Amino acid sequence: MNLTARQKEIITIVQENEPISADLIAAQLDLSKSTLRSDLAVLTMIGVLEARPKVGYIYSGLNFDPLMGEELFGAKVEDLMSAPLIVKQDISIQDGVTNLFMYDSGTLYIVDKDEKLIGIASRKDILRFLINGTHTETTPIALVMTRMPNIIVVNPDTTVLTAARLLQRHEIDSLPVVENDESYRIIGKVSKTSILNHYIQNSPGGPKI
């Protein structure tokens, strides 16, 4: 659920001044009490605020904070992206596999000589080749990769929710994060694992393990 800017302001006022009457909240916002009525009703209904007769509004200090939705879903990809495993297009499939093991990764991001993203090779792309293919030391990784323009990318300011939807819709494990310009220079990756970690980090009570 998305709260409006005014509702967030009301919550801050209550947190800092509780217990506080509707009149005083209205005065702080320079609004009339009737203007605030629906906001206060919403905040009370969802349990963020508690209205105590003759006392005023207090912040409920809920364990599940509805504001957290914004933290969880609205965070930017740049806040949780991890380091991508980047290789050149002419490395062999054998070197690609070695890299996957060495850096404990599942996806190779392949760039040209100008560091521009041109392909992605996943574990299954490589396994598919290995079933019938030979000459792994001389066959370039570029032979098995998914190529541009078929690569789904995100920008640093893409939200976590959008990234998660793309991963789900395209049934892929990760997305390269590229510069906002047209250079297709990779600056990170966002994967199912990084999104899971983000949710655990930001869950009520923080990480437990």
Q: In the window 80-109, what residues touch ligand ADP (CB under 6 A)?
A: 106-107
Residues 6+ away with beta carbon under 8 Å from 134: none
Nearer to ligand ADP, 20 or 141 (CB): 141
Query: Is residue 194 part of the contact set for ligand ADP (CB under 6 A)?
Result: no
Token readout for 94 is 């054998």
Task: Pick the closer one to ligand ADP by CB: 56 or 96.
Answer: 96
Chain mean position to CA 138: 38
Instruction: Tell the smallest beta-carbon distance from residue 102 to ligand ADP (Å).
Output: 17
Q: Which of residues 105-164 bind ligand ADP (CB under 6 A)?
A: 106-107, 120, 122-125, 146, 150-152
Long-range contacts of 102-110 (CB under 8 A, 24+ apart): 106/173, 106/174, 106/191, 107/173, 107/174, 107/189, 107/191, 108/141, 108/145, 109/84, 109/85, 109/176, 109/186, 109/189, 110/86, 110/141, 110/142, 110/145
Does 34 bind ligand ADP (CB under 6 A)? Our answer is no
Question: Closest distance between ligand ADP and the C-beta of residue 189, in Å?
Answer: 9
Minimum CB separation of residue 166 from ligand ADP in Å reads 8
Peptide bond into 140 cis (omega under 30): no
- Calculate the alpha carbon distances from 48 to 41, 43, 64 in Å: 10, 5, 9
Question: Could you tell me if 7 and 39 are in contact, meaning their C-beta atoms sit under 8 angstroms apart?
Answer: yes
Shortest distance in whole angstroms from residue 201 CB to ligand ADP:
23
| Cβ nearer to ligand ADP, comparing 21 with 94 | 94
Closest approach, Cβ 167 to ligand ADP, in A, equals 8
> Which of 93, 97, 200, 83 has its CA nearest to residue 143?
93
The structure tokens 């009520």 sit at: 204
| Stretch 45-64: interaction string toward ligand ADP, x if CB under 6 A | --------------------
d(CA 115, CA 113): 5
Interface with ligand ADP in residues 169-188 (CB under 6 A): 172-175
State the minimum distance, in angstroms, from the CB of residue 145 to ligand ADP. Answer: 6
Q: Which stretch binds ligand ADP (CB under 6 A): 4-12, 28-36, 91-99, 166-174?
A: 166-174
Binding footprint of ligand ADP on the chain (CB under 6 A): 106-107, 120, 122-125, 146, 150-152, 172-175
